A and B are shown apart, each in its own frame.
Chain A
Amino acid sequence: MRSVLTALLAFGLALLLPAQEGDVENPYTSAEDIAAGSRIFRSHCAVCHAIDGSGGRGSDLTSGEFRHGSSTEAIYENIGEGIPGTEMPATFFRGKQLWQLAAYVRSLSEAPQSVADLGVASRGQSLFEGKGGCRNCHQVNGEGARSGPELTYIGGQRSAADLRASLLRPNERVLPKDYTVSAVTKSGQKISGRRLNEDSFSIQLIDTNENLVSLSKQDVSDFSIDKTSSMPAMGEMFSEPEMEDLLAYLVTLQRKGNLQ
């Protein structure tokens, strides 16, 4: 299992500066390397992990934290050797291509973003917590409400352009995990909230009061799923410089500093 890495280390990789304590550094992390890794990912990995790495049959690779190891070493080994006891096969890639693939997987959770063209993050944070009222729905580092998606690591998961689009046109792309469910029980109680799960016989949601609710479909007389966003479009609330500041702040919301 460790033989591939050991061999590579023997060829001099040990001389590279570690990216984090105890970890090895990936020698192939340029934009070209990530693009090459992306191409391999599309033909060999997307079938299980989805084209954007968000998972499906395979695990979600956008979180940056993996059950079988999150270090560069672990990612490299798991891609090359597979993970025994799971459906993750060995890929037979070696050397450069394997590093490129590892770089691409890493980029899914740590998209390097330039903040040079954006505003001032500290001002953005003030807008987020103050005027914008964003914490009324969103949580960052344990602060804020839970009715909207958590944003603690949003800067590593979405590009600044993507975030801007969501702020200006919230309804353009609403992920199914953010759909709003409205139900009326047979006893007349109205319940609304974000859908967490659904199956043939029941539905689970977090309601507007942040209660976890599980409803049996046979106890519900009316039931609908709203695929629009409950977030207002932010174009009128914020000036363009404020929007830049807000984006600068959101981009800093990452697992660890990967800003350029």
Chain B
Amino acid sequence: MKTIRMALISVLGASLLAAQVTYERILDADKEPGNWLTYSRSYDSQHYSPLDQIDKSNVNDLELKWVFQADETTKFQSTPLVVDGVIYVTHSPNDIAAMDAATGRVFWRYRHTIPEGISVCCGLVNRGLAILGDSLFMATIDGRLMSFDAKTGSIRWDVKVVDNKDGYALTVSPLVVKDKVVIGTAGGEYGIRGFVDAYDAKTGKHAWRFWTIPGPGEPYHETWEGDSWKRGGGSVWVTGSYDPELNLMYWGTGNPAPDWNADVRPGDNLYTDSVIALDADTGELEWHFQFTPHDWWDWDSVQIPVLVDMEFEGKQRKVILWGNRNAFFYVLDRATGEFLLGKPFAYQTWAVGLDESGRPIVRDGMQPTPEGTKVYPSVQGATNWYAPTYHPRTKLFYLSVWDRYPSIYHKGDATYVRGTRYPGSFPEGIYPDIVKDEEIGFGAIRAIEPVTGERKWEFRLTGVSESGLLSTAGDLIFSGSKEGHFLAVDVDEGKLQWRISLGSRMANSPITYLADGKQLISVASGFGLFTFGLRE
């Protein structure tokens, strides 16, 4: 076995390692399902893999192949890339490991030093890399965008994007489209003004910026009052999707700031809590759709836009499927932004429903108060940033759900001080604990029929989950739980097929790929990346 592998490496490996990841390769990701070339594998972000070696008949033969331990104790939110036998993963704060995908042995590591006093809302996290040619790209918590030689980890260019002293931080996994590297910014709890930025992949030269909060003279600036737009939030911290035919990118935007005192920002607060469709070459806005106008609850619409072509009411449509943190599932026409369907996928008390345009009809008395207002869903939402998935055979949309779990939302002081937290008070009930909280709710993997918004099945978890979903042509969905279980259910009925306890929460989304021609599955749990394959 070893000799075969060595022979493969010497004969094929060298040439494969030398291969360039062109834009066309990412565009045609389905032609090479053994690789994982961009954040969600393919530009449609279905988080689906055509690999089928592992299926219901043999999933119980999965065994641990290797573990990579990050030597940092911040949650592991990164999704790896796999390129021709090499797996690239980031971990806190902005370190990179390039490893043999078959064994997890390290080729090289990059260690990033961040300045003291970095301030971020939610940990020194990073969600991964992008690749083009033989360059890797990483956005850093201290506000830099960096390019690395994929063979050695040496820095090719390093540009300053934002200043953390202004509350900005970069956690997003970049999206490469054509010759550009596109990123967004975090910092919605620090009174930033959000944006999507594009850079030339070769040189790092800035190409364009789209502000998610329009300035004076720009459309929808009137959805802000006074100077509130200057610190209005609208962060972008999860990777968008891309439709090459329409040449549009889709990005979800974060909450308006301050989070829980909306009195200081009257108006709809565009383009917060929205999906924005941007021209991939110029960054110009084609259309937008706002899920939660004038948000009082911190329900970022920072979910991964899932692009699907399907028949809807007798007409073939290019749509986006979107399970939103605000507990509604949406179907939008992605050419125009037209609202096609919206239905709750979890228990919620904040909205009576959606009107014909998809705008929520907000229930009275749901706004935060100094004493606290109990609202479903919780501040973590009915789902959050982790990957949903779409399976092309079942034509179902699947997502991780937090159900029947509320927060008590408080309203308070909203004084802005540069670079400091600007929350406007706080919510109670963040991460439910089974032995601590009286109202814990429960977690679930749910299957939704996109044409109706109806639930097809659910797989219930006792605790909630921060794990995304991976569906495969083996008709399995892989996911994890905060309890530390990594598990597989079938795509048709959601029946448990396999599980293993990894001992700590999963806070990323599993991926699958080929190493030495064999299908492997990697998922982060705790501070390690665990990789499984079939027993031989």
Contacts and interface: CB of A to CB of B under 8 A. Distances in A.
Given A43-B412, A56-B436, A90-B117, A198 B462 contact: yes
Given A44-B423, A92-B119, A200-B481, A177 B461 contact: no
Given A177-B435, A200-B483, A48 B117 contact: no
Interface in B273-311: none
A162 interface: no
A118 B35 CA distance: 71
A56 B419 contact: no
A200 B433 contact: no
Interface in A31-88: 42-44, 46-48, 50-51, 54-57, 81-82, 85-87
Contact of B428 (A46, A90, A177): A46
A195 B435 contact: yes
Contact of B437 (A46, A176, A197, A201): A176
B438 interface: yes
B contacts with A: majority SS: loop
A145 interface: no
B74 A86 contact: yes
A56 B481 contact: no
A43 B428 contact: no
B332 interface: no
Given A42-B412, A176-B437, A47 B430 contact: yes
A89 B426 contact: no
A89 B119 contact: yes
A46 to B, nearest CB: 5
Interface residues of A, number: 32
Nearest to A42: B426
Given A89-B119, A90-B117, A200-B460, A43 B437 contact: no
B423 A43 contact: yes
A92 B462 contact: no
A89 B435 contact: no
Contacts of A197: 434-435
A187 B123 CA distance: 47
B499 interface: yes
Interface in B362-393: none
Given A42-B410, A56-B431, A198-B462, A47 B426 contact: yes
Contacts of B121: 89
B225 interface: no
Contacts of B357: none
A44 B481 CA distance: 28
B434 A43 contact: no
A199 interface: yes
Contacts of A54: 436
Nearest to B424: A43
A87 B425 contact: no
Given A85-B74, A92-B119, A47 B460 contact: no
Contacts of A56: 429-433, 436
A140 interface: no
Interface in A1-59: 1, 42-44, 46-48, 50-51, 54-57
Interface residues of B, number: 47
B133 interface: no
Nearest to B259: A47
A57 to B, nearest CB: 5
Contacts of B74: 85-87
A57 B423 CA distance: 17
A175 B437 CA distance: 8
A199 B425 contact: no
B462 A85 contact: no
Interface string A81-107: 110011101111000000000000000
A179 B11 CA distance: 63
Contacts of A85: 72-74
A201 B420 CA distance: 42
A57 B430 contact: yes
Contacts of B116: 1
A200 B438 contact: no
A168 interface: no
A33 to B, nearest CB: 18
B122 interface: yes
Contacts of B412: 42-43
5 contacts: A56-B430, A87-B124, A175-B438, A200-B481, A201-B485
Interface of A: 1, 42-44, 46-48, 50-51, 54-57, 81-82, 85-87, 89-92, 175-177, 195-201
Given A86-B74, A198-B434, 19 more contacts: A1-B116, A42-B410, A43-B425, A44-B423, A46-B426, A47-B423, A50-B428, A54-B436, A82-B117, A82-B119, A85-B73, A90-B118, A176-B437, A195-B435, A196-B435, A199-B483, A199-B484, A200-B481, A201-B485
